[in-house]
Each structure stands twice: as structure tokens, then as C-alpha cells.
Chain A
Amino acid sequence: MSAPVIAAEGLTKTYGSLTAVAGIDFEVPPGESFGLLGPNGAGKSTTMRMVGAVSSRSAGTLRVLGLDPDTHGPAIRSQLGVVPQEDNLDTELRVRDNLIVYGRYFGIPRRTCATRADELLEFAQLADKARSKVDDLSGGMKRRLTIARALINEPRILMLDEPTTGLDPQARHVLWDRLFRLKERGTTLVLTTHYMDEAEQLCDRLVVVDHGKIMAEGSPSALIRQYSSREVVELRFGSERNAPRRRGSRERRSASRCCPTGCCSTRTTARRSSSTSPPRVCTPPRAWCGAPRSRTCSFGSRGGA
């Protein structure tokens, strides 16, 4: 295996008494598509920020493209493409100018930026929106523009923090398609997600993170084999009316969000609203998608029995 483009050992980030990342180890070889899967607050974004050289680590070692982000921040950042969780497009500039100006931030000559901007608008299927205002774009278009922007410096690693959160199923599939093409071209992808189906679509290998620690590691299919079964039965107790007030219903919502596209029809989920310690979303074996049929069984009125 060639030298990893990212190597983290005992990587830790603390904010005062809060530990966001509690000593994680992972390596990403070039060309791999690597995922960090976990619930909100698991430490995914903090890890991404440290790898992206915009946040200094509290302990551990970290090498990105062989360099230490603490001392070579700009050198590392110049070779990364970053798609943040929240779109931070420049709303005062038009779509095409967003790409060009962002490229200029890297010191890339204007002419090169312009050529690349046109190519990237094609790639992001936004060529007809070149002169539009950013605010007039849909959520999915903004996301694609952010990805296009992240590619303007021809990065060696593309970092995507929850790339499809908040998008509708169709926009999500369009985005996956684009990312899959990048993966085929050999771009190293590092992405965080809540969704196992997304990880399955895009990741060669992933780590499951929770409470700042790595809980499991492997390829999506291996993780499903190891921690889940092909079929999971979801049982929900309580009537349709009172169910939403119960804890289980929240779990269920997240589970269905796990696969709004209907590819969850390949799955059946097991769950009891009364379970004493409900596993967190995306902690094995809860949120995997991957089995053939989805079936939710709701039982009568005596909820939580």
C-alpha cells in the first residue's frame, strides 16, 4: 500500500472540559473513499476540521499528505477541497464568480480559474445557472456548487461533511452520482454521514464514530455482515396517535430518514419502543440498510408493553 494521505494516531480534541474527539486512529490510503459514520455530536465534524487544518489538535499525531497541519496549514489546505456541513457560498457573487474567486483565494491565475469554473459548472450540471445569484439556487444545486467550488484547486483529497443532509431524495441521488464519478476518477474522498445507505453508496471503508471514539471499522458490507443481519424486524408498540410521543417514534423517524429514497425497501428494521437502552442511530446494528424488505409492524393500543 502506498503511503497514506491521512494518518491519525490518538487524535484528540478537547474544548475546555469537553472532549469532542477522544483519541482516534485511522489511515486513509490515496484513492480511497473513506467515511466517518455516526450521530450528531459524535466528533465527525471536529475530526474533519482537524484534518482540514482549520482546527489544531489537542493531542495525538496527525499527518495530512505527509505534513503536520499545525505547522503546514496553508500548504495542506492548498491541496484539499472542503465541502462544509453548512453551505458557505458567497451570496454577494454570482454562481460562476463564486468558483473563480474561490480559485483566486488559492492564488490560481484568473484565466485558469475561469477555464476550470466552466468545466466544473458542466460537471455540477449548473452550466445554465452560471449567471444566477446563489440565493436563487435550490438546496441541491447549492450543494453541487459547493462541491464544484471545492474542486477548483484540483485537490488531492476532497472532504465532505454530511454532503446530503437536508436534501430531498432526488437531489441526493444526483449528488451521489457526481461523487461516484469523482471516486471513479481516483479522487480521495473523506466524508461524514449519518446514513448507512450513503456510506454504502460511496465508501470503500468506514469507521463508526460515537462519543469521540471509533466503535467499528471496515467496509460497509463487512460491517453489515458483522453487526447486522439481512433482515431486521421493526416492532413498534402503541397506537398511531400516541406513538409519536414515545421515544421509539423518534428513533423510527431517524430510521426512515436513514433511507428516504426507498432503497430501504431492501430492509426491515427491528426495534422496540420500550427497549431500555435504545441503540443510537447508526450504531450497529440499528441503522443499516441492506436487507431485502422493509416492514414496520405497529401493534395495538398498549404502548410500551
Chain B
Amino acid sequence: MSASTDVDARSGGARALYSGNARVVVARGLLATKSTNWVVVVSGFFEPVFYLLAMGWGLGSFIGDVTLPSGTEISYAAYIAPGLLAVSAMNGAVYDSTWNVFFKMHFGKLYDAMLSTSMGPLDVALGEILYALLRGGVYAFGFLTVMQVLGLNLAWTAFLAVPAVLLVAFGFASIGMAITSYMKTFQHMDWINIVLLPMFLFSATFYPLTVYPTPIQWLIQALPLWHGTELVRGLTTGELSSASGLHVAYFVAMIAIGLTFTTKRLRALFLD
């Protein structure tokens, strides 16, 4: 085989990468959930609700109100609820795109089967990520409903938190699946938790970023969850700023990078 046909194989590969059939992968996910693990899926909804009750309502009664940068005072529960919403989007997306994908990749051999059909790796990647998003979206909608009932949505822009959360989830799912494609053992998978837990605790979820010294603030601002928290908080409290656009851009970049790597890796793993 000459170098030129090699180039053809790669560049003529739009169809080789994507057959426009990602929705079938989503449908497969829904069917699998219906027939096996819907209880696990439902339980995911309660996690942020429990946090909200314990921290916002319980702990919050000792803390009182929080002052936003604009000077507005809001209840502690209203302050952390959007953070928890972003966290639940992150957790749902990461769980689906890491543990579930890892299992399907190494034990279920699901992707072997999918890629021996006319589907391409981008169909698989996009389909799995969209399924994770769908799940994240359901959680987000449920949690926003709880927030509404508890009176924690302070502005009309709160309903925009649903697409915002989907964007956040999309970013995490893309990167999560890309990283998972490099993982070989269960020990590797534990590293994901080591990254997620501190990010959850320290990304201005429970208190403003200003408590940190400047270098730590930069570090936190470089991590994705802070952007998610700030974006969602801006929408539910109505305190939008030019930074919101930046947060959106951060996640768009994250999605692009994640999808590129995932597709490349799936191709290398299953079609080489």
C-alpha cells in the first residue's frame, strides 16, 4: 500500500468516521436502561437533592445570607443550589462516560460489535455522549423543579440553566470518554474519582472563590467545574456578566477536544 492510499484512507474518512447513525446508539442506551438498570439511574437524581437539604437548608440556617459580587444578598441555599446543579450534571455525565464506557469497551465488547457494522467511531462516541446528556438533562430538570418549589430560582433566566447544564454535561462527557479510552485497568479508573472529589469541594461550589489566595484562584478557574458553577449560578440568580460567554466558550472547547480524541482513540482501538 502506498503512502497516497494511506492518506486517502484518512482524509476520505468522513464517512468512515460517521455514518449519521448516532441516534441508534442513544436508542440502544435507553433500551438497555429500561431492561436493566433504571433504578441506578433514578437514584442519581436524589444525590444533589440530599446535598441541598443537608447543606443549604441544614448548614445554611447557621450561615445566613451570602452577598454576591453585585451586592445582592441571597440565602445560602440559593447560593449553593446552582453549584450542586452543575455538580450533578458533571457526576451524571462522568459516570456514564467513564465507568459505563469502560465496561462496555473492555468487558461487554459492545464497541467491537458496533464497529463491525457500518457505523463509524464518531457515531459511537456521539451516541454514547448524547445518551449521557439525556440522563444529565433529566436530572437537571428534576433538580431545577426542586429549586423552584423551594423558591431558590431568583430570576427568570433560571430556565436557561437547563441548556447550560446540558452544555456542562456535554463537556464533561466528551472529556470523560476520551480519558476512559486510554484507561486499561480498574486502578486507572480510580484516578477519575481522585480528580472529581476535590473539584466538587473546592470549585466555589459552597463558598465564593475570593476566600482563596490568588494563585489558587487561578488554578480553580482553570478547572471546568468552576466554569460550570459560575455559569449556572449566573442564570439562576440573574447575575449574568460578560464572563458567562467565556464559560460557554470553555465548554465548547472542551467538547471539541473531547470528541476529537474519543473518535481518534476508538478508531485506533477498534479499527486498526
A: which residues have CB within 8 A of B? Answer: 52, 54-61, 68, 70-71, 73-75, 77-78, 80, 82, 84, 86, 88-94, 97, 101-102, 104-107, 153
Question: In this assembly, does B115 line the interface, its C-beta being within 8 Å of a C-beta of chain A?
Answer: yes
Q: List 13 A-B contacts (CB under 8 A).
A: A55-B272, A56-B272, A58-B1, A70-B1, A70-B6, A74-B118, A75-B118, A88-B108, A89-B113, A93-B32, A101-B24, A105-B114, A107-B24
Per-residue A-contact encoding for B108-152, CB less than 8 Å = 1, 0 else: 111011111111100000000000000000000000000000000
Pairwise interchain contact B9-A77, C-beta atoms closer than 8 A? no
Question: Closest chain B residue to A77 by CB distance?
Answer: B118
Question: Closest chain A residue to B15 by CB distance?
Answer: A74
Pairwise interchain contact A105-B117, C-beta atoms closer than 8 A? yes
Question: Closest chain B residue to A82 by CB distance?
Answer: B116
Bound state CA distance, A124 and B58, in angstroms?
60
> Which are the 4 A-B pairs with shortest beta-carbon distances?
A88-B109, A92-B32, A78-B118, A105-B117
Q: A78-B118, A88-B110 are in contact. Are A104 and B5 (CB under 8 A)?
A: no
Pairwise interchain contact B113-A102, C-beta atoms closer than 8 A? yes
Question: In this assembly, does B271 line the interface, its C-beta being within 8 Å of a C-beta of chain A?
Answer: yes
Bound state CA distance, A102 and B113, in angstroms?
8
Measured between beta carbons, the chain A residues less than 8 angstroms from B115 are: 54
Most chain B Cβ neighbours within 10 Å, of A55, A88, A92, A104: A92
Pairwise interchain contact B118-A101, C-beta atoms closer than 8 A? no
Pairwise interchain contact A84-B117, C-beta atoms closer than 8 A? no
Measured between beta carbons, the chain B residues less than 8 angstroms from A70 are: 1, 5-6, 8-9
B: which residues have CB within 8 A of A? Answer: 1, 5-6, 8-9, 12, 15-16, 19-21, 24, 27-28, 31-32, 35-37, 108-110, 112-120, 270-272
Most chain A Cβ neighbours within 10 Å, of B5, B110, B117, B120: B117
Pairwise interchain contact A86-B117, C-beta atoms closer than 8 A? no
Pick the contact of A86: B6, B15, B109 (CB < 8 A): B109
Question: Closest chain A residue to B108 by CB distance?
Answer: A91
Bound state CA distance, A80 and B113, in angstroms?
13
Measured between beta carbons, the chain A residues less than 8 angstroms from B6 are: 70
Measured between beta carbons, the chain A residues less than 8 angstroms from B28 are: 90, 93, 101, 104
Smallest Cβ distance from A133 to chain B, in angstroms? 8
Pairwise interchain contact B1-A59, C-beta atoms closer than 8 A? yes
Pairwise interchain contact B1-A54, C-beta atoms closer than 8 A? no
Measured between beta carbons, the chain B residues less than 8 angstroms from A71 are: 5, 8-9, 12, 16
Measured between beta carbons, the chain A residues less than 8 angstroms from B21 are: 104-105, 107
Pairwise interchain contact A68-B5, C-beta atoms closer than 8 A? yes
